[in-house]
Amino acid sequence: MKKKLLVTDLPCSEYEGKRVFVRVDFNVPVNGGKITEDYRIRRTIPTIDYLTRCGARVILASHMGRPKGRRIENLSMAPVAERLNEFLGIKVRFPGAVVGRKVENASKKLKNGEVMLLENLRYHNEEAENDADFSRKLASLADIYVNEAFGTSHRAHASTYGMTAHFEKKLAGLMVGNEIKFLSRLIRRPKKPYLVIVGGMKIKDKIGALKNIIKKADRVLVGGGVAYTFLAARGVSVGKCSVEKEMICWAREALETYKEKIILPVDHVMAEAGGGRKMRVVVTGAGIPDDMTAFDIGPKTVEKFTSYIKGEGTVFWNGPMGFFEVDDFSNGTSAIARSFALATWRGATTVLGGGDSVASLKKSGVKFSEATHMSTGGGACFEFLGGVDLPGISILSDS
């Protein structure tokens, strides 16, 4: 891939007095109006600092959650505006809308060095539909476009793709630039052996990337929800676990082709299906009984998986090993997280991608600094590593 023009590749004089639209990824967890984890916000501050110091008028926009075109109050960006006030030390303007008269007026009143944050982009269905009119309205707010939302770059939405056609200058933010630089190196020549750990829920979302990554990896450990589709493909009974039926065929083929490479769980922590309140937690080595659902990898699997996670080569991890949000089912993920951190200390290049994966690392008590690279994108990171062109990156100006 060609090198992309970075926001700092242009001198300050290019920004002074200009309105700069920065697509950020402030899709942070909020509980009772309070942000519980703000890694994604902190990571964008250097770009915002550079622009404000240059005298740009900065317009920030992000989505949060999946409001599906409706105005859902607890998915408002208002708490983010407050957190930004704190981080930037200035009062960030928050017009409380995405498009329309109020926003246009506020954008015109912005002074050099000031910052404005738009409301949740997904309050409008037009965002995900990449609607042309909506794209044009967003673009009309600014003179220069910056992508600082790596985690959303695999989506061709209005704010990541459609609106960019209206700009001559489309730049990569510093964080996006870092991600491209680090991950490109990993695509070209990963330090061997290359170990990939996949978990989480949906194979369908990950298949494009998984297909390519399996080829390059020396070993792929499959845990989490995605493991049950592979186990089903191998003919192991999976009880009430959700299996992606349309993926079984592909999984069977992959298991045939890469017999030695793909490592599946050998035991599970499970509970009675739909057990609601207090579930009976059982560990089994065999298949999963008909009335049970597996929510975590078992202790033998942990032993097996961790024996592959060594202090050499490259370790890429995306997707928790189980339903880690519930303590009874967090052991597998925690064990893998600690082993992943150990691999870093022992000299491996370790890369973690994915919103839930980052949260699971935190819950395991592993520090973010115990990974060589923490990607701000899950799907985006996975697809990029799999060699898939990300629309939000491809459209950026070449350097």
Name residue 219's amino acid: R
CB 29, min distance to Mg ion, A: 11
Residue 336 token pair: 């893998």
69: phi then psi, degrees, rounded to nearest 5: 85, 0
Which residue number, 301 or 318, has a Cβ lying nearer to ligand ADP?
A: 318
> With binding defined as CB under 6 A, does residue 190 bind ligand ADP?
no
CB 357, min distance to ligand ADP, A: 3
> With binding defined as CB under 5 A, does residue 25 bind Mg ion?
no
Name residue 152's amino acid: T
- Please report how many Cα atoms fall inside a 13 Å half-sphere around the Cα of residue 298, on the Cβ side: 19
CB 385, min distance to Mg ion, A: 16
CB 151, min distance to Mg ion, A: 10
Which residue number, 50 or 230, has a Cβ lying nearer to ligand ADP?
A: 230
> With binding defined as CB under 6 A, does residue 200 bind ligand ADP?
yes
> With binding defined as CB under 6 A, does residue 332 bind ligand ADP?
no
Q: CA 148: distance to chain centroid?
A: 13
Site size toward ligand ADP (CB under 6 A) is 19
User: Which of 67, 177, 190, 320 touches ligand ADP (CB under 6 A)?
Assistant: 320
> With binding defined as CB under 6 A, does residue 295 bind ligand ADP?
yes
> With binding defined as CB under 5 A, does residue 383 bind Mg ion?
no
DSSP result, 209-272: HHHHHHHH-SEEEE-TTHHHHHHHHTT--BTT----GGGHHHHHHHHHHTTTTEE--S-EEEEE
357 binds, among ligand ADP, Mg ion, none (CB under 5 to 8 A by kind): ligand ADP
364 binds, among Mg ion, ligand ADP, none (CB under 5 to 8 A by kind): none
User: Which of 95, 151, 177, 225 touches ligand ADP (CB under 6 A)?
Assistant: 225
What is the C-alpha to C-alpha distance for residues 268 and 280, in angstroms, rounded to an integer? Answer: 13
SS3 of 165-204: HHCCCEEECHHHHHHHHHHHHHHHCCCCCEEEEECCCCHH
CB 323, min distance to ligand ADP, A: 4
Confirm if 179 and 6 have CB atoms less than 8 A apart. Answer: no
Catalytic residues: 40, 202, 355, 379
Confirm if 15 and 176 have CB atoms less than 8 A apart. Answer: no
User: Which of 224, 298, 313, 392 touches ligand ADP (CB under 6 A)?
Assistant: 224
* Residue list 351-380, contact with Mg ion (CB under 5 A): 355-356
User: Which of 147, 229, 318, 339 touches ligand ADP (CB under 6 A)?
Assistant: 318
> With binding defined as CB under 6 A, does residue 331 bind ligand ADP?
no
Q: CA 114: distance to chain centroid?
A: 28
255 binds, among ligand ADP, Mg ion, none (CB under 5 to 8 A by kind): none
Q: Please identify, among the stretches 21-29, 182-190, 255-263, 318-326, the one whose residues bind ligand ADP according to the rule CB under 6 A.
A: 318-326
> With binding defined as CB under 6 A, does residue 314 bind ligand ADP?
no
Q: Are strands 30-31 and 170-172 parallel, antiparallel or unpaired?
A: unpaired
Which residue number, 45 or 201, has a Cβ lying nearer to ligand ADP?
A: 201
SS3 content of the chain, % helix, strand, coil (to 5): 40, 15, 40
Q: Which of 209, 211, 214, 262 is nearest to 385 (CA)?
A: 209
User: Which of 12, 325, 365, 389 touches ligand ADP (CB under 6 A)?
Assistant: 325
151 binds, among Mg ion, ligand ADP, none (CB under 5 to 8 A by kind): none
CB 357, min distance to Mg ion, A: 8
Q: Are strands 268-272 and 292-297 parallel, antiparallel or unpaired?
A: antiparallel
Confirm if 397 and 5 have CB atoms less than 8 A apart. Answer: yes
Range 47-86 burial, b when 16+ CB lie within 10 A, else e: bbebbbebbbbbbbbbbbeebeeeeeeebbbebbbbbbee
Which residue number, 47 or 350, has a Cβ lying nearer to ligand ADP?
A: 350
* Residue list 364-383, contact with ligand ADP (CB under 6 A): 378
384 binds, among Mg ion, ligand ADP, none (CB under 5 to 8 A by kind): none
Residue 134 token pair: 């909506």
Please provide the distance, in angstroms rounded to a whole number, between the alpha carbons at the two ends of the chain: 11
* Residue list 326-355, contact with Mg ion (CB under 5 A): 355
Site residues for ligand ADP per CB under 6 A? 199-201, 224-225, 294-295, 318-320, 322-325, 354-357, 378
